[in-house]
Structure 1
């Protein structure tokens, strides 16, 4: 659907019944009937943007949607923020060596190089779902993510959900800290 510039900045705007019918033509009859009962169809305005090129400035860091906003599906807004916080805790805990106040900016830059590639990959996968991963892989790799990707077997949705929620960010952060002696 084309962007309705008047809708940006508003929670919802009035939609058209004809457009709603067109959008739901292949839905289950019960869902179609529920949509037909809407007195005034409303469009929920959601927008996405590219993640920040950097989420660190000196000793300050942006996490979650402040850095990499997600569309409200696949449950990734809060999940990615929790992963940010948990992994940041690993980096700042001084796994390899104590973190001094003057060393915080360097640790945050290392954390950023660990975190941003995965969250950028998550954004791309969830925005373009259900596009097959094979069609996205070169773009994902160009974002700097070189980890394992979900497979397009069984149920594509099921595999992405496992990939999203089966990720142990603290263990991966600890491994990264070991390799780079953070």
Structure 2
């Protein structure tokens, strides 16, 4: 057996590439196997919060991310019909967010983020067109078999292969995907086509009965607006193409009839032929089995309403790399995997629950409950500290993991009076 483990990462998305980079920072090598013929992320954009950007900056990606991203001016919540601003908090205005959480907030196209990661990794690590079809275990590690007949061996297999993970089926068995009963319509629109949109440089939630719309600027100069419009239904998901189902083009606008012109003009600016089902993964009893372990959506795919799918995936990758390196040899892997599960499972489950609860809070009809939610939004910076202020390295050292300089850390919401609504992320279940 090799002195240091040979690591095979299944999936060349944000999690797989970040893990490969984090391992390399610690003197370990990995091979990334991606089933697609080229690197191409699904989904329009991603909001990277401080709990991820501080880790990406630590591995030298800060300048590349900043060049490809837009930092939003504020986080704003608005009422659905008249656009009334019910809460506003600075993000990029001044240095408030960075001062508080010690890292920036970025809005970036998923493809641009993947390009930054891949460029930092360089050639030779990512193997394209490799669809994993079977895993097997033997005394010295794992055997991987791919659809093209290729077979590989590794001391450790990491499943960074998304919500319908082949590796998860080997680790945990069965199907764990849960349809939320909600779906989304998404798009990217040039900001100059949205004359009715107030504060185009801000992250904004428009909240209303049975639906909400989130948007934020992307592009190096904020010239584009990325949006996700979420509605209740359909009651059951029957999309034959997995995450998407065909839909008549007038369905999105009918769902937002009577909403502010900024919302309806944004939705109307895109031709909608599909709706995206919003799914999560049920909490898993175990994240590893033998010498295979799960990361990101494969372990804890969540609804996008806390904007943490991609961010928690980055956290996973950094934590797993550090724990593997700490054990330093293949014989130490079982302890590293057990420590990884202990460190990551409780936090990600908490964010999953919060994301699920937040959907209902964003969809309240006008009335006392919505008014109570709006009042709670005034304390959003404090309520978000436990998410954005998390520091993986502090957690690995067994120290308090929150780096925010002020404000109490509060639990995830359990009632309308304890709402936590953070920037959502484009994608079927990713954040």
Q: TM-score, normalised by structure 1?
A: 0.66
Counterpart position of 2:351: 122
Give the Cα separation in 2 of the matches to 1:10 and 1:91: 33
Judge conservation of contact 2:319–2:396 (CA < 8 Å) in 1. yes
Of residues 43-52 and 32-41 in structure 1, the stretch that sits farther from structure 2 once superposed is 32-41
Taking a change above 3 Å as real, the CA distance of residues 102 and 34 of structure 1, as seen in their structure-2 partners, is closer
- Which among 229, 246, 265 is matched to residue 13 of structure 1? 246
- Which among 85, 89, 92 is matched to residue 317 of structure 2? 85
Deviations 1:96-141 (A, max 9, x none): xx55432311221122012101001111111221667xxxxxxxxx
Taking a change above 3 Å as real, the CA distance of residues 20 and 92 of structure 1, as seen in their structure-2 partners, is same
**1:5 alignment partner, SS class:** coil
Taking a change above 3 Å as real, the CA distance of residues 71 and 83 of structure 1, as seen in their structure-2 partners, is same
CA-based RMSD:
3.0
Judge conservation of contact 1:64–1:80 (CA < 8 Å) in 2. yes
Give the Cα separation in 2 of the matches to 1:88 and 1:127: 26
Give the Cα separation in 2 of the matches to 1:31 and 1:117: 36
Give the Cα separation in 2 of the matches to 1:155 and 1:13: 40
Give the Cα separation in 1 of the matches to 2:298 and 2:389: 24
Q: Note the C-alpha offset of 1:27.
A: 3.0
Of residues 47-56 and 24-33 in structure 1, the stretch that sits farther from structure 2 once superposed is 24-33
Taking a change above 3 Å as real, the CA distance of residues 111 and 20 of structure 1, as seen in their structure-2 partners, is same
Greater helix share, 1 or 2?
1
**1:116 alignment partner, SS class:** helix
- Which among 367, 376, 394 is matched to residue 171 of structure 1? 394
Deviations 1:29-62 (A, max 9, x none): 2312444576656422232221322111122211
Give the Cα separation in 2 of the matches to 1:159 and 1:43: 34
Judge conservation of contact 2:253–2:264 (CA < 8 Å) in 1. no
Judge conservation of contact 2:304–2:355 (CA < 8 Å) in 1. no
The structure, 1 or 2, with the larger RCO (C-alpha pairs under 8 Å, 6+ apart) is 2
Taking a change above 3 Å as real, the CA distance of residues 74 and 91 of structure 1, as seen in their structure-2 partners, is same
**Unpaired runs of at least 5, structure 1:** 133-151, 177-182
Q: Note the C-alpha offset of 1:7.
A: 1.8
**Unpaired runs of at least 5, structure 2:** 1-232, 362-375, 400-431
- Which among 335, 341, 346 is matched to residue 106 of structure 1? 335
Greater strand share, 1 or 2?
2
Give the Cα separation in 1 of the matches to 2:305 and 2:349: 15
Answering whether residue 268 of structure 2 is matched by residue 44 of structure 1, we say no
Q: How many residues align?
A: 152
Q: Note the C-alpha offset of 1:71.
A: 2.7
Give the Cα separation in 1 of the matches to 2:391 and 2:249: 44
Q: TM-score, normalised by structure 2?
A: 0.31
Counterpart position of 1:140: none
